[in-house]
A and B are shown apart, each in its own frame.
Chain A
Amino acid sequence: MTIPDSAADAIRHNPAQNDPMVTFERVTKRFGNDEKSFVALDNVDLVVGRGEITGIIGRSGAGKSTLIRLVNGLEKVTSGRVVVDGTDVGGLGETGLRSLRREIGMIFQHFNLLSSRTAFDNVALPLEIAGLDRAAIKAKVGPLLELVGLADRASHYPSELSGGQKQRVGIARALATSPKLLLSDEATSALDPETTQSILALLKRINAELGLTILLITHEMEVVKTIASHVAVMDVGRIVEQGRTFDIFTAPKHETTRIMLAATSGTTLPEWLKTDLRQTPSAGDRILVRLTFLGATAFQPLTARLVTEIGGDVNILAGAIEEIAGEPFGTLVVAYPATPDTIARANRFYAETGLSTEVLGYVA
């Protein structure tokens, strides 16, 4: 099997992903007939590394749901290839697809549990479908409910469970056939923030303990930031940016990524400041600078030193320290007099400490 240049590029951009679990090669998906066709995916190249958590983020209608459904053949490509662990999904017949699907678990936004079955029997369903006998099913379901922390809810029906508990049943069900890949379709979008965090922690644990590859789609930045080691940003059927989550989120290149990030991170300026901001300085103005602290610098007492270097006349206008894919990341927006002397001293300090900076503008 030869890898086309486009996919090879994607691999080069993500050196950690040289052992792919899923590869999208120039994938296009069109819905409808020729006159009224709608392009859901447009020439998508993507690599999902084995054992990693890869997040695909985008607004609704960006094509995420279609993309994830190509992996287990719920949708079929119009052109291009989707390769899962060496198998071209498009080349499989119904029987081949069914056995592939038994190696891929899937969880859903609305859980999709059978209301007529207890938690236990819901987890048992994929095993019944695979043809296991009652004893073998019993031996598998118990530990799975244990793993997701619902051993005491085995005989409850979905209507007796909370949203978070239902998703835990969904996860146990998805793991029942010991898959090598887990697809997560907006799995936390119907949950409150606290429950979202506990479900994400569970997915992270499963990834670490079972070495399970996870491909998730979401419109929530928080989800990707919290658990995805790699991310692809989608916009109207295209992947506009992909790479390590930390790299993409600390230095977003595409406008879509910036807009989505601005909504969640602490680096947005207060509204009153935005209206007063000018791009050229006049006498007596103060300069606004955004400082970015990456990795090790996030922990150093740089702010205090900056104040000393500049001479005390510094104010902090916005700032946050966050964790992205397990790494600390801080931003700080500061203002100080826009005199050549002060600016020179500040720039010397930035160069010395390796802080990355961006001049946002000037205010009176």
Chain B
Amino acid sequence: MSPEMLFDLLWKALLQTLHMVAVSGLIGSLIGLPIGIFLATSGKGELFPAPTLNKVVGLIVNAARSTPFIILVVAIIPFTRLLAGTSIGTKAAIVPLTIATVPFFARLVEAAIREIDKGLIEAARAMGATPMQIVTKVLLAEAKPAIVAAFTMTIVSLIGYSAMVGAVGGGGLGDLGIRYGYQRFMPEVMLAVVVVLIVLVQLVQSAGDALARRFDKRNRQG
């Protein structure tokens, strides 16, 4: 394969990966964020006490997280068709990726919020804050660095998951690696795909870390 052709294939696959990861990462996190907040604040004696619903949502989240991604992709094909109008292609692949993102990000957000000192919640209550004000002004503000780190971790995981959606013709870098590198015995394509993925993950991680550090005011030196 000529270098130009390889480059062309890689570029197209990279764009497909970026497209899938960006859309599913954004939508999945937007849905996962409130679920994570709910999980962290709806236990007994917490801000929005709803212990039963908390347990039910927790169970669903666990179930979704324990389903292997490749099985999830196949299992929800009817739902994917309903939502995307098709069950193959990049657009269709976004549906299972989004669904996998939601519980993953929700659990990370829950952990981030639970890390916050309970004294801050008490202080806000003592000021006369409503539960909603406590969420927006205290919990989300204080958990911001951890939530940014959680988002970074989610995107990195999604880049990995997106390699599997070749199974439904989703395209992307993983799909390219399997079809050319493995099935057509072209190790140079496989190598190129792996290198691009490594660089991509590094970039995402560094950007995420830098952003989280900027938001983190806990360890500043005078």
Contacts and interface: CB of A to CB of B under 8 A. Distances in A.
Interface string B100-126: 000000000000000001011011111
Nearest to B221: A160
B128 A74 contact: no
Given A98-B130, A129-B124, A110 B119 contact: yes
Nearest to A126: B127
A114 interface: yes
Nearest to A162: B222
A114 B142 contact: yes
A101 B124 CA distance: 10
A63 B144 CA distance: 36
A159 B125 contact: no
A157 B220 CA distance: 8
A102 B127 contact: yes
Nearest to A130: B128
B30 interface: no
A104 B126 contact: yes
Contacts, number: 75
A286 interface: no
Contact of B119 (A112, A126, A160, A161): A112
A114 B128 contact: no
B202 interface: no
A87 to B, nearest CB: 14
B124 to A, nearest CB: 7
A47 interface: no
B125 A101 contact: yes
**Which residue of B123, B125, B130, B219 has the most chain A CB atoms within 10 A of its CB atom?**
B123
A74 B217 contact: no
Interface in A102-131: 102, 104, 106, 108, 110, 112, 114-117, 125-126, 128-130
A192 to B, nearest CB: 18
B142 A98 contact: no
A99 interface: yes
A196 interface: no
Contacts of A157: 217, 220
Interface residue range, chain B:
20 to 34
Contacts of A188: none
Given A101-B126, A129-B133, A159 B218 contact: yes
B142 A115 contact: yes
A160 B222 contact: yes
A183 B130 CA distance: 20
B220 A160 contact: yes
A114 B141 contact: yes
Contacts of B217: 115-117, 157-159
Interface residues of A, number: 31
A72 interface: yes
A176 B62 CA distance: 44
B192 interface: no
A126 B128 contact: yes
B219 A159 contact: yes
Interface in A73-104: 74, 97-102, 104
Contacts of A177: 127-128
Contacts of A112: 117, 119-120, 122-123
Interface string B179-222: 00000000000000000000000000000000000010111111
Contacts of A97: 128
A114 B120 CA distance: 7
A24 B180 CA distance: 80
A102 B133 CA distance: 14
25 contacts: A98-B128, A101-B128, A106-B123, A106-B126, A106-B127, A108-B123, A112-B117, A112-B120, A112-B122, A115-B217, A116-B141, A116-B217, A117-B141, A117-B217, A125-B127, A125-B137, A126-B127, A126-B128, A129-B137, A130-B128, A157-B220, A158-B217, A159-B217, A159-B219, A173-B127
Interface of B: 117, 119-120, 122-130, 133, 137-138, 141-142, 144, 215, 217-222
Given A112-B117, A112-B122, A160-B221, 20 more contacts: A74-B122, A74-B125, A74-B126, A98-B130, A100-B128, A106-B123, A108-B122, A110-B117, A115-B217, A116-B217, A125-B124, A125-B127, A125-B137, A126-B128, A156-B222, A157-B217, A159-B220, A160-B220, A177-B127, A177-B128
- What 6 pairs across the A-B complex have the smallest Cβ distances? A101-B128, A112-B123, A126-B127, A98-B128, A157-B217, A102-B128
